[in-house]
Amino acid sequence: MSTPPDFDEAAVGPGRRLSLLEGVRVLDLTHFLAGPFGSMVLADMGASVLKLEQLSGDSIRRNPVFFHQGDSAYFMAVNRNKDSIAVDLRTDAGQEILRRLVTGSDVVLDNLRAPQRASLGLSFEDLERINPKIVCCSITGFGSDGPYSDRPAYDLIVEALGGIMSVTGPVGGPSVRAGVPIGDIVAGLYAAIGILGGLQSLRTTGRGTHVDISMLDCQVSLLSYLAQYYLTGGMVASHQGKAHVSIPTYNTFVTKDGREIVIAANTEGMWRSLCQVLGREDLLDDERFAGNAARLAHRDDLVPLLQEEMARHTADELYGALVDAGVPAAPINPVDAVFADPQVLHRDMVVRAPHRGGGDFVTLGSPVKSERSPGEGFRSPPGLGGQTAQVLTELGFDAEEIAELRRAGVVNDG
């Protein structure tokens, strides 16, 4: 089993899929990150996901820097529990395979801009003619209409345009991107949510639908209350640093041993408990800090004072005392500490998964849990075209036809 250095293999159990979406067939035409992340969420919940790749495969199969049994770690991170078929959709024969696949699918997921979908016969109108009950979802940088609709986009672009970078970074700047590709990942999550909504709509109306996901829309939605502060009060938020714009006791502090700890003392009860843990009950009688509005008005007095008190304690001492007192707090964990956290391990967020090349690899578990739909174990990320012959047989192609498709370069079965 491939494991990171110093990792406790005994603490890692097998990954499990749920059966919540058992029977749902998803044709996944996406590549790179946003779409594959969304289809993996569906696969983890039990959907049957067939990854339709170009003959050379999803480009992230070759992404550096780490590999396991020939698969890039990047590819393995978002493509477990799927099958793969490799088809050249630019050929007439490839289009016939596509039509048969759509006929037997419940969902088609793509990350093609509208003109690309039309040129490949993948517009919703095209697919609806093949299967009137199909639920289609398209993830693009800017959506299927509007002045930017035909532009390509990447995570960095939509984080910038959507305002996320303008509020991320130390107070006063410079702006930084999020440490994880939230432009891609949030779009994938919204796609999965939209697909579930489309399937429910199908149940009630009997008709398919098209779900249009814009990465930029998704980033704008994340502005949440910062957007509402502007729309209601005209406040243009800037870099948040390690604090909260309106709650000074929702903040980050450095402890005696140089580690950072976050504290979210959001209520009057938590404020009282925080003062007690720090041995500063006198602050409770200080008019400058009597209520959150007063504490906000005197933030510049309060935060340095609290920092001075935090620096008298180690992170572990302070963390334990605050949790015992009912004050939400946590050390800022580096990645290796995340995967040693007892709650993370207990919730099976680090698991083993099989690999088709033999043995297991350690990977992330699924955050969606369900006691009544436990499903089955994780499956390996697919080899390129690993299920091509099997799928073509199920679509009605005989052995001679499959051999001819292979000779003609229409399909790749690894």
Reported as a single tens digit per residue, the pLDDT across 147-163 is: 999 999 999 999 999 99
Given a cut of 60, whether residue 246 has pLDDT beyond it is yes
* pLDDT for res 374: 80
User: What distance, in Å, lies between the first and last C-alpha atoms of the chain?
Assistant: 24
Rounded-to-integer distance, Cα 75 and Cα 356, Å? 14
Q: Across all residues in the chain, what is the average pLDDT?
A: 95
For residue 125, give the amino acid letter: E
Helices and strands in the chain, H and E counts: 17, 15
Query: Looking at residues 107-130, what average pLDDT do you find?
Result: 97
Reported as a single tens digit per residue, the pLDDT across 182-213 is: 999 999 999 999 999 999 999 999 999 999 99
Kindly indicate the confidence band of residue 268, based on its pLDDT and cuts at 50, 70 and 90.
very high
* pLDDT for res 349: 95
Kindly indicate the confidence band of residue 372, based on its pLDDT and cuts at 50, 70 and 90.
confident
Query: Looking at residues 401-409, what average pLDDT do you find?
Result: 97
Rounded-to-integer distance, Cα 43 and Cα 379, Å? 10
Task: State the CB neighbour count (10 A cutoff) for residue 243.
Answer: 17
Reported as a single tens digit per residue, the pLDDT across 379-390 is: 999 999 999 999
Active site residue 398: no
Kindly indicate the confidence band of residue 7, based on its pLDDT and cuts at 50, 70 and 90.
low
- What residues does each domain of the chain span? 9-224+351-412, 250-338
Pairing of the two strands 107-110 and 135-140: parallel
Determine which one of 83, 88, 155, 184 is catalytic: 184
Rounded-to-integer distance, Cα 262 and Cα 251, Å? 6
* pLDDT for res 383: 97
* pLDDT for res 375: 84
Reported as a single tens digit per residue, the pLDDT across 314-340 is: 999 999 999 999 999 999 999 999 998
* pLDDT for res 67: 96
- Tokens matching residue 324: 């015992």
9-224+351-412, superfamily in CATH? Answer: Crotonobetainyl-coa:carnitine coa-transferase; domain 1 (3.40.50.10540)
H or E segment and range at residue 353: strand 350-354
Domain 250-338 has CATH 3.30.500.10: no
Kindly indicate the confidence band of residue 277, based on its pLDDT and cuts at 50, 70 and 90.
very high
Rounded-to-integer distance, Cα 353 and Cα 360, Å? 5
**Residue 50: beta bridge partners?**
27, 83
Task: State the CB neighbour count (10 A cutoff) for residue 204.
Answer: 7
Global confidence as pTM: 0.93
Task: State the CB neighbour count (10 A cutoff) for residue 267.
Answer: 15
Q: Which stretch of 11-15, 30-34, 378-382, 393-397 has the lowest confidence by average pLDDT?
A: 11-15
Q: Which residue has the tokens 């990465």?
A: 215
Task: Name which of 53, 115, 118 is nearest 85 in CA terms.
Answer: 53
Given a cut of 60, whether residue 58 has pLDDT beyond it is yes
Query: Looking at residues 335-347, what average pLDDT do you find?
Result: 92
CA torsion 65-70-74-78 (nearest 10°) is: -170
